[in-house]
Structure 1
Amino acid sequence: MTSDQNGHPFRNGLVNQAGKKRRTSDELPSFLGGYIPVLQNGPSQGRPPSSRLPRRVDWNQIWRRSRGIIGILRSWRPRDLLYIPLALIIVWWVVLWWGEEVVFRRSVEACAWVNWESWNVEPAASTPHHVALIADPQLVDPHTYPGRPWPLSALTIRYTDLYMRKCFQQIQSTLVPASVFFLGDLFDGGREWSTGEGEGGESVDKRWRRYDNGFWLKEYRRFARIFFNTWLRGGQGQSDRKMVVGLPGNHDLGLGNGIRIPVRKRFQAYFGNGNRIDVVGNHTFVSLDTVSLSAKGQPDPATGSQGVDESNNDIWGPVEQFLHTSKGEKARTIARDLRVRHGKNENEIMNNEIIELEEPRSWTIPLNFDPVKNTDIPSIILTHVPLYRAPGTPCGPLRERYPPSKTDSGEAPEKDDANAIAIQQGVQYQNVLTQEISKELVELIGDVSHVFSGDDHDYCDVIHRGYTSKNGGIREVTVKSMSWAMGVRKPGFLLLSLWNPVDEEGKATNQDASKAPTIQTHLCLLPDQLSIFIRYGLLLAFTLVVLFVRAVRIAYGPRPATSNTNGTILPISRTKPFHAKQQDKPSHASSSSTSSQNGLAVRPSAGPRNVTPGSGYGYQPPTVEDETKDESPRGVVVNRAWNDIALDEPSKRKRKGLLAVYDELTSSVLNVGLCAMAWYIWLLWHS
């Protein structure tokens, strides 16, 4: 046990003026390091070991320097919005949300039925039937861009699929059409992929023979994810929904003599027959496989002879047979639909009759009902390849690539080669059908009011006057491609509003209805994906410029002034560095030491002490010469004048000049880029 000069004992600790024992090093919290000062009754005899220096934690400074989320939220102020990287992150979030969500929703919402259909009838009288026509999705594959390198080709496939899926989702959720018809070219290279059936199943082009039937099935699953799955999730509560995708295009099967029978069988096995009749909204939709019918009249590839080639009859023969029986099949289909619509059985119940074997006779199943004739239900032809028209027939003002020309009087000319569909053909493609085939299918189907086609990728609206029709002309609309990779900046689709109320016999319910139009069409344009990417690129360039200017300003601009208070209330003057040379000792000072058994370090005094029995131990007012600052290897700073002990981080020597600009620029670009990319990935994942 030891005591000071006043007789106050202390053990393993300090005793204050009142004689109360102070906490020892063993009782101090761990964050203080277990170091306590020891008061001396005289001046310092030497520098204490740095490992035994006491320190006091400045919590304000630690909290201010923290980089965690809690520190950011705690220290946030409204003016922090002016922080440039944070402002750029917010701008990126808004622009990405607009480009991936808002622009798609607004494009489809602009095509809402109430915005354009006008039947001028009471809503209770009848409900129009809504149809969406989609042309040429033409899924991008190796056949689309054969020379494109892998990263770019993979991104093209990803973004074209994503684009069509988002558009089709908006169609189903916003417009909710009752029926959807596809107009061919579901795939881009579907005709090239081998079927694995030996002769006739392999691709003619050697470049594509390594793409077998398994690759075609992968493409089919892609199509199903984009359209089938989305269709199944939409239109809840509609019982008469219908989706028809069996109409083939030249990229699905080929054209004319280029069609391989195994390829067509594979397509029909998964998508259905290309020749069919559907009664929708009191209108008869007749789908025709015109790419196969085009083989009729083509020259024999072996002999080169013109005329009907019987050697390829297996290509165009089934379509020709369907055409010759289409009027009777159309009448029977209409009759079945009318019976079901009015609560009757689809077919008459047949009488039970026993036929004796001893009395053989020819027996056939009779028709259960007589086909309804001369109805007011018009026919609509769906074909992938457009009908023939005179060269230079204008396509109208809605054509994107070539707007219509103007005459001196300001009217559209009767012949406009730039605005028209070119009359030409090549390997596995033909822009329009031949004049003979076009005339034949219109006459054999009969009562045709409209024709809807695809293949051209752009919009075209013409009136055919040279074909037999009910109202003196057949209107044909060539629908835009839905894919943004098919040469049009703004893809699209076509909406049909069908309103044709009829009675049980298929006659119009009023006299004027038989002469009034029963179909209204509307072209719906989809977002310009390339323009969206351009906006992203411009924003990226703007971001880099702003961050570069900011980095230059930080590297070469004035440095902010630092405070010398270390977060404390009492002022702290700049101190002299501690020298190894020991200061002169006052003559009246005496030294004392603590027992090594107690483990207490010797504390040097900051100056001469005023020792009075009544006032205890104290300091005289310090002077600048008396103020010193001692730095230890552990980063503990001791202000010896005021006994102020604080934590100080080791100073980092920053790079200057262009290196400092580079460091600041890369750090800010990385921060903004990671935040923007995380939001972008989330938008893509949930779209």
Structure 2
Amino acid sequence: MSYSYLPTSSASAYRPARRDHFNPSGVVKTIHDALPSWATQGISAAAHSASGRLDRLKNRSELKRLAWKVTRWLFTITNGLIILWIYTLWWGERSVFRDSLESCAWNAWEKWPTEATPHHLVFIADPQLVDPHTYPGRPWPLSTLTVKFTDQYMRRSFSSIQSHLDPDSVLFLGDLFDGGREWSTPHSTSPEERYRKYNDDFWKAEFHRFVKIFLDPWNSQETHSTNPRGRRLIGSLPGNHDLGFGSGIQLPVRDRFQNFFGKGNRVDVIGNHTFVSVDTVSLSAMDQPDPKTGSTGAGNGDGARPNQQIWQEPENFLNAMKEHRGRAEMDELCFLGTPQKGRLFKHEVAEPSTPVVYQDPDPEIIGFPAILLTHVPLYRKPATPCGPLRERYPPSSDGILEQDEPNALKLSGGYQYQNVLTQTISNEVVSKVGPNLIHVYSGDDHDYCEITHREFSGSPKEITVKSTSWAMGVRKPGFVLTSLWNPVDPFTGKSTNEGAPGSTLQNHLCLLPDQLSVFIHYGLVLGFTLVVLIIRAIVLSLRPTPSPTPEPILPLAETHELRTRSRAVSHTSSSSISNASFIKPGGLASRATNNPRVTPPHSYNDTYPGLDYTSETDSSKWKSSSTERRRRGGDTLLGRVRHEFMDSTKKVARIALSWYFFLIWRW
């Protein structure tokens, strides 16, 4: 199709003659000048006010249009999914920890008199830092991610404990590492061949992991504790994963652990209670066969006993319990300000041949309530139920049962472990700890268990504390909060709390978030996000897209350049198109019906690149380039769906992942 315009001279011949028109502005001006001044001022004020209202209406309309555009931009499906992910990740990485610990606030469960100032203590059991011993067949990168997420979970949990509960003391109940017993020392190697490549440097690296997870948050926390002794963190009690068990313990491994964490056998006075920690994993070698001779702890008749180097240290500690407890309790009274008697000397001359030596009397046990700490639980009768707070195996009945096999600790053992101590070892420990034993805390089982030992004097209660790691077979890890309040007479050390034995202590199980459920929730939100984005991509791809309006071949407004080119075309194509068609009134030439195909001149292609002229009857006026088609995801429905889905997924993932990594990095 071809168009032409009339020359300037011809076009001017058809322009109408100019005529004088009535000008209303002159009449208005004449009337305005004839009015008095007060009338003209009123008219001006009214006009100004009307103009202001119009401007305000115009601005308000512009604001409404802008607000509507912003609203349409904000309230989209992808932005809604981004908000959903921001909330979900904040919930999974922050809120669940805060909510769990807020429900364990001290004042929510403590029941002390108003004037009481209790000592707040936290028991943590079996962190068992994940290492190659935990999941030996797990490939990379799954093994690395397991280490990363378990460490992050425990660091987050422990930091939350410090910030929300601010305990005065924290006591660990063993199994700080999972494969600590397997890592070689300069003087020992693992019994298993596959672990011998992990040397002493690897164990030290694991120790630094423990410091980063627990000690660094402990030291960096700004505490509000008013305890005169200051805050305490004690992690010296060993577990079977730290040293081994019984005759399987290697002395260099135990020495390394004690060099970094302290002696496993110790006495501490905390909150006017005497805590006795016993290395029962070493003591258990006393009634186990010697791996070299095969004999048991009964001896061979000549005084020699097997495994003596392993069990001798805790045995000596128990034999001197009266001295250890007496000295610790007297030191506490000295700290509380009890006046002490000075050392008296006789001022008299004595013969050199008969020297007189004065010795301090042996310290006596004052009688603080005693608490036993052991990694392995004490012996109990088979099928002794652990109570309703046990997670993996809840009670078989709503009532109280004397025997409940699924709910009880199994009395069994294996390589480097034993579920409970033997009856012999348990009796020896309890009898030698001394009087006023009111409570026992243990670990090892990873799940919660609470029983009362009727077979021992005083019927002490024992709590087996849950593991604090979510990789130890429990969905909801936890720890035990213990509140101690035992006011004493600073001169005698006797308790002024007139309650029953054990009334100076209160316990509360605090559960941590179910990390596996958090991951499952993330997976459900991810599946919902993908489904929504797929549906959105299909709907948008099925919508009819308006065809782009092509630019006109020639503009209606004539320019000098186009007029020049038009005249050039008329001369070059005079053989096929008559000159009469260029001079018809109206400025447009008639259709050249006698020419089936007209090739546009090269000058038009230069002026309007991208237009494809094939023939006058060709209906295709615009063809997108291959780059444009690839940008739109292809011409097929599947290609358009894929393009929309990938674009929206990238937009949501970019912001969600950035937010997630920020939450991990900040805590």
Shorter-chain TM band: 0.7 to 0.9
Please show how residues 260-659 of structure 1 align to structure 2 within 5 Å.
Answer: 260-308=250-298, 310-342=305-337, 359=352, 366-367=359-360, 371-375=363-367, 377-406=368-397, 411-446=399-434, 447-469=436-458, 473-504=459-490, 505-509=492-496, 512-513=498-499, 515=501, 517-560=503-546, 576-577=552-553, 652-653=628-629, 654=632, 655=634, 656-659=636-639
Cross-structure match for 1:569: none
SS in structure 1 of the partner of residue 461 of structure 2: strand
- Could you tell me the percent identity over the aligned residues? 49
C-alpha RMSD over aligned residues: 3.6
Please tell me the residue identity of whatever aligns with 2:525: L
**Structure 1 gap segments, 5+ residues each:** 1-39, 45-72, 565-573, 584-588, 594-599, 606-619, 638-648
- Segment drifting more, 669-678 vs 458-467: 669-678
1:93 Cα offset (Å):
0.8
- CA–CA separation in structure 1 for the residues paired with 2:252 and 2:456: 35
Q: Which secondary structure does the structure 1 equivalent of 2:268 belong to? A: strand
Task: Choose 230-239 or 250-259, whichever is displaced more.
Answer: 230-239
Name the CA distance, whole Å, in 2 between partners of 1:243 and 1:426. Answer: 31
Please state whether the residue corresponding to 1:150 is helix, strand or coil. coil
Contact 1:387/1:438 (CA < 8 Å) preserved in 2? yes
Query: Aligned pair in 2 of structure 1 residues 339, 662: CA closer, same or farther (>3 Å)?
Result: same
Shift of 1:621: 8.8
What's the secondary structure of 2:480's corresponding residue?
A: strand
Kept in 2: contact 1:395–1:462 (CA 8 A): yes
The answer to whether 1:221 aligns with 2:208 is: yes
User: What TM-score results when the alignment is normalised by the length of structure 1?
Assistant: 0.75
For the residue of structure 1 that corresponds to 2:510, the secondary structure is strand
Conserved 8 A contact 2:329-2:365 = no
**CA apart distance, 1:351:** 7.6
Q: Which amino acid aligns with 1:252?
A: D
Aligned to 2:25: none
Q: Secondary structure at the match of 1:661?
A: helix
Change (3 A) 1:235 1:280: farther
1:603 and 1:402 mapped to 2: Cα distance? 94
Question: Given that residues 484 and 504 in structure 2 are in contact (C-alpha distance below 8 angstroms), is that contact kept between their aligned partners in structure 1?
Answer: yes
Which runs of 5 or more residues in structure 2 are unaligned? 1-6, 12-65, 300-304, 568-584, 592-599, 612-623
Evaluate the alpha carbon distance shift between residue 559 and residue 222 of structure 1 in structure 2; reply closer, same or farther with a 3 A threshold: same
Give per-residue Cα distances to partners, 1:392-430, cap 9 Å, x unaligned.
000000000011012xxx523211110000000111000
Tell me which amino acid in the other structure corresponds to 1:455.
D
Which residue number corresponds to residue 18 of structure 1?
Answer: none
Residues 128-277 of structure 1: pairs in structure 2 closer than 5 A: 128-197=118-187, 201-238=188-225, 240-277=230-267
Deviations, residues 605-629 of structure 1 (Å, cap 9, x unaligned)? 9xxxxxxxxxxxxxx9988999x99
- C-alpha deviation, 1:578, in angstroms: 5.6
**Structure 1 contact 42–592 (Cα < 8 Å) conserved:** no
Task: After TM superposition, list the pairs within 5 Å mapping 1:45-64 onto structure 2.
Answer: none
Alignment partners' CA distance in 2, 1:390 and 1:414: 10
> Structure 1 pair 556/270, CA: closer, same or farther in 2 (3 Å)?
same
Three-state SS of the structure 1 residue aligned to 2:258 is helix
SS at match of 2:282: helix
User: Could you tell me which amino acid in structure 2 is paired with residue 336 of structure 1?
Assistant: D
Q: CA deviation at 1:107?
A: 0.5
Instruction: Report whether the alignment pairs 1:669 with 2:655.
Output: no
- Does the CA-based 8 Å contact 1:135-1:482 persist in structure 2? yes
2:97 paired with 1:112: no
Provide the TM-score with structure 2 as the length reference: 0.77
The answer to whether the Cα contact below 8 Å between 1:298 and 1:308 also exists between their aligned partners in 2 is no
Q: Report the CA distance shift for 1:634/1:402 in structure 2 as closer, same or farther (over 3 A).
A: farther
Is contact 1:132-1:494 (8 Å) kept? Answer: yes
In terms of fraction of residues, the more helix-rich structure is 2
| Equivalent position of 1:568 in the other structure | none
Q: Structure 1 pair 331/622, CA: closer, same or farther in 2 (3 Å)?
A: farther
Letter in 2 for 1:371: P
Q: Give the aligned residue type for 1:385.
A: V
Residue by residue over 1:256-279, the C-alpha shift from the partner in whole angstroms, topping out at 9 and shown as x without a partner, is: 000000000000000000001110
- Contact (CA 8 Å) 1:192, 1:208: kept in 2 or not? yes
Letter in 2 for 1:386: P
8 Å CA contact retained: 1:41, 1:592: no
Structure with the larger RCO, 1 or 2 (CA within 8 Å, 6+ apart): 1
Give the CA deviation at 1:304. 2.2
Q: CA deviation at 1:358?
A: 11
Task: Provide the rounded CA distance (Å) in 2 between the counterparts of 1:488 and 1:352.
Answer: 63
Partner of 2:536: helix, strand, or coil? helix
Shift of 1:480: 0.2
C-alpha displacement of 1:513: 3.2
Could you report, residue by residue, the CA deviation over 1:68-120 in whole angstroms, capped at 9, with x for unpaired residues?
xxxxx99961233331111111111110010000001110111000111112x
Equivalent pair of 1:43/1:604 in contact (CA under 8 Å): no
3-state SS of 1:400 partner: coil
* 1:76–1:179 Cα change, 3 Å: farther
Q: How many residues align?
A: 556
Please list the CA deviations of residues 414-470 of structure 1 after superposition, one character each: whole Å capped at 9, or x if unmatched. 11110000000111000000001101111111221000000000000000000122x
The amino acid of 1:131's aligned partner reads L
Query: Offset of 1:558 from its aligned partner?
Result: 2.1
CA shift, 1:664, in A, is: 1.7
Instruction: Give me the whole-angstrom Cα distance separating, in 2, the residues matched to 1:392 and 1:184.
Output: 25
Secondary structure, counterpart of 1:489 in structure 2: coil
Write the mapping of 1:31-110 to structure 2, written as runs, cut at 5 A.
41=8, 77-110=70-103
Whole-angstrom CA distance in 2 between matches of 1:286 and 1:625: 112
Work out whether residues 322 and 365 of structure 2, in 8 Å CA contact, stay in contact via their aligned partners in 1.
no
Separation in structure 2 between the aligned mates of residue 537 and residue 622 of structure 1, nearest angstrom: 69
CA distance in 2, matches of 1:43, 1:533: 82
Give deviations 1:494-537, integer Å, cap 9, x for gaps: 00011111111111225x23656111100000000000000111
How far, CA to CA, are the matches of 1:360 and 1:604 in structure 2? 143
Q: Secondary structure at the match of 1:451?
A: strand
Distance 1:41 1:130, change over 3 A: same
Distance 1:633 1:440 in 2: 105
Tell me the distance in 2 between the aligned counterparts of 1:360 and 1:228. 57
Letter of the structure 2 residue corresponding to residue 319 of structure 1:
P
